Amino acid sequence: MQLALDATSGWDLDAQPKPGAQPDLAAARKVLKRVWGYPDFRPGQDEIVEAILAGRDALAIMPTGGGKSLCYQLPALIRPGLTVVVSPLIALMQDQVAALRAFGVEAGALTSANAPEENAEIRGKIWDGSLEILYVSPERLAVGDTVSMLERVGVSLLAVDEAHCVAQWGHDFRPDYLGIGAFRHALERNGQKIQVAAFTATADEATRAEIVEKLFPEDPIVFMRGFDRPNLRLAFEPKRSARKQILDFVTARKGQAGIVYAASRRGVERIAGYLCEAGIDALPYHAGLEPEVRQRNQERFVREDGVVMAATIAFGMGVDKPDVRFVIHADLPKTVESYYQEIGRAGRDGAPADTLTLYGFEDMKLRRRQIDESEGSEARKRGDRARLGALLALAEAPSCRRQTLLSYFGEAAEPCGNCDLCETPPERFDGTVAAQKALSAILRTGQRFGVEYLTAVLMGDATDQVMKFGHQTLPTFGCGAEHTKNEWRTIYRQLYALGLADVSVGDYGQWTATEEGWKVLRGERRVELRKDAMPKSGGRSSRGAPAPELADEADNELLRALKHKRMELAKENNVPAYVIFTDRTLTEIAVVRPRDEAALALVHGVGEAKLKRFGRMVLDVVSAAA
């Protein structure tokens, strides 16, 4: 089998089993080391690769950053025939093809973004059998000449990436994914059975059932990998001064790539603006920008080091950048699933990465309003409210945040030691009396007012509005002077998150007591609140722990020199920087300081093709720093 980095760099990879022989994991591990430079599989990859090598149809649900793509790329290199990969975004296909070619793999993508001569070259390699992995969009599968060509040359494996896009009620539904089954049938007209492997990071039980129904002729073997991403530090903070909280967090990580998600286009522009003013290389990304501006900003983020992208959730699905070191949510995400998928874009290389989610009561109101004003059925709205409740429970969790997150996905876990609540356990207290006072203020004022008005009543603040309605005469007027205004705001936020109070989605945001709230008032339920959720005047926001730097300054100097050389090579080869070497690989080189190619070959992520093409230049940088 021939793996070529370019037309003149062919080299043989003696890992192809003999005709009739069954490839096994031993052969797969040899390819893993020789091509990718990885000493072993990540957890869960080996059993999926083994099943695919054995010819079994497979559905794999793996966390973002868990190494899904390798599970179909590696079998393609040690089995005869063409592997066709269906992927939803051109940018994602282009990045994966560039990465594979850098590893010396014959891969290509038939897309509308290619020049006609490039597509012609790829078709030629399909016909002569030299292409091993072909990426196509689902729309391409409906093109007659593509189907005819692939039917004649033969396809050994059909891999479907982002398989949840086939689910009609999912947030990423792509109608063209429904044609994948018909495409498989067309390829099987000559009597050949096409093996199918489907991959996704997020799929509940209903979505899994729909994937199986739409993509597989028979029930596949299903792999459910754990949802834990232990390299991600999880943190939530109530909004105090969101601008300062974001600036503190990002400037502590200046020079690192990151994503800041905001709920609106206006928020994106504002965040990108003040980050740039602070000297951060930040760019905006949202649907209101011209397509060429979005494309240019995305390419800069993917190809360059240390760029921060301020974006709406429109950004991320097609970005395969392994060295994103942090993800911030400037506003509360929509659901736990959305939160999990979006933070999963950090630390895909397995190195430490940070996450921070800011949330406030206005975020909760916005998400509730979006649900209530949606066009879904009442049953769908009830489900969406339950999902919002689960997200609020995660935001207000009393102990290990990772335990709360994983329990939502049905997994048990020990305290992680890598979240804000494990590092600084919150002080909890019996908040029953405070809750009763807050709920009493809601009821005695007629369930007609917002939190600022209720806080004024509890604090005994005789404002013009309070005097107008005569509420200075209520028994609750001034009964809450033991707490500050900020503390009452956070108490109300926690009551909402606990389902003890509700708020209308109208302009005035009137508060009401729920049935569970009435139980508290009647003394039938105890309430526990968090003291740490009550910010003190002048208190600083916790910024979390930045991704660790190298302890030795000389190693840091070498790492900077290696990144500079990587950027030069990336520009020369017109590929993203991580395609040359990932941050993890460069960091290991800076620590190990290999003196020759034999030592460099032992570094994680240095396969034979990269060693041959870039090894001498890397060793020269190391030697110059000695």
Give the pLDDT confidence of 267-312 residue by residue, as tens digits.
999 999 999 999 999 999 999 999 999 989 998 999 898 999 999 9
Q: What is the pLDDT of residues 324-354, one digit of tens each?
A: 999 999 999 988 888 998 999 999 888 899 9
Between 435 and 142, the more confident residue is: 435
Mean pLDDT of the 561-582 span = 93
Residue 378 is encoded by which pair of tokens?
């009442």
Q: SS3 for 485?
A: helix
DSSP state of 51: H
Residue type for position 60: A
Please list the helix, strand and coil fractions of the chain in percent, rounded to the nearest 5, in that order.
Answer: 50, 15, 40
The candidate with the shortest Cα–Cα distance to 586, out of 280, 241, 323, 260, is: 323
485-497 vs 361-372: helix axis angle to the nearest 10? 30
CATH annotation of 2-224: 3.40.50.300
Residue type for position 113: A
Do 326 and 191 touch, CB atoms closer than 8 A? no
Q: What is the pLDDT of residues 229-239, one digit of tens each?
A: 999 999 999 99
pLDDT at 55 over 60: yes
DSSP 391-442: HHHHHT-SS-HHHHHHHHTT------SSBHHHHSPPPEEE-HHHHHHHHHHH
Q: How far apart are CA 322 and CA 579, in angstroms?
A: 10
β strands within 14-102, DSSP E: 58-61, 82-86
E strand or H helix at 284: strand 282-285
Among 2-6, 576-580, 600-604, the least confident range: 2-6
How buried is 106 (Cβ within 10 angstroms: 0-12 exposed, 13-18 middle, 19+ buried)?
Answer: buried
Among 151-160, 164-173, 457-466, the least confident range: 164-173
pLDDT at 318 over 70: no
Domain ranges of the chain: 2-224, 232-423, 428-533, 553-624
β strands within 37-80, DSSP E: 58-61
Instruction: Say if strands 501-503 and 511-513 run parallel, antiparallel, or are unpaired.
Output: antiparallel
Q: How far apart are CA 568 and CA 563, in angstroms?
A: 9
From the CB of residue 19, how many other CB atoms can be counted at a distance below 10 Å? 6
Q: SS3 for 480?
A: coil
pLDDT at 212 over 90: yes
Among 247-261, 369-383, 573-587, the least confident range: 369-383
Instruction: Say if strands 11-12 and 2-3 run parallel, antiparallel, or are unpaired.
Output: antiparallel
DSSP 125-184: HHHHT---EEEE-GGGGG-HHHHHHHHHH-EEEEEESSGGGG-TTSTT--GGGGGHHHHH
Could you tell me the pLDDT band of residue 532, with boundaries at 50, 70 and 90?
low
pLDDT at 518 over 80: yes
| pLDDT of amino acid 170 | 56
Mean pLDDT of the 179-198 span = 87
Do 563 and 303 touch, CB atoms closer than 8 A? no
Q: Which CATH number fits domain 428-533: 1.10.10.10, 1.10.1200.10, 1.10.760.10, 3.40.190.10?
A: 1.10.10.10
68-78 vs 45-53: helix axis angle to the nearest 10? 40
Could you tell me the pLDDT band of residue 534, with boundaries at 50, 70 and 90?
very low
| pLDDT of amino acid 124 | 95
The arrangement of secondary structure in 232-423, i.e. its CATH architecture, is 3-Layer(aba) Sandwich (3.40)
Percent of the chain with pLDDT strictly greater than 70: 91
Mean pLDDT of the 50-72 span = 91
49-65 burial: b if 16+ Cβ within 10 Å, else e:
bbbbbeeebbbbbbbbb
| pLDDT of amino acid 154 | 85
Percent of the chain with pLDDT strictly greater than 90: 60
CATH topology match: 2-224 vs 232-423: yes
Among 91-100, 417-426, 551-560, the least confident range: 551-560
| pLDDT of amino acid 491 | 92
Mean pLDDT of the 76-81 span = 91
Residue 383 is encoded by which pair of tokens?
């489900």
How buried is 536 (Cβ within 10 angstroms: 0-12 exposed, 13-18 middle, 19+ buried)?
Answer: exposed
Residue 417 is encoded by which pair of tokens?
């030691």
CATH annotation of 553-624: 1.10.150.80
Q: SS3 for 75?
A: helix
| pLDDT of amino acid 409 | 84
* Locus of tokens 């921060």: 308
From the CB of residue 84, how many other CB atoms can be counted at a distance below 10 Å? 27
The candidate with the shortest Cα–Cα distance to 150, out of 216, 84, 249, is: 84
116-128 vs 144-153: helix axis angle to the nearest 10? 30
pLDDT at 242 over 90: yes
Q: How far apart are CA 32 and CA 39, in angstroms?
A: 7
| pLDDT of amino acid 542 | 36
Angle (nearest 5°) at CA 483 between 449 and 423: 110
The chain-wide mean pLDDT, for the chain, equals 87
| pLDDT of amino acid 168 | 66
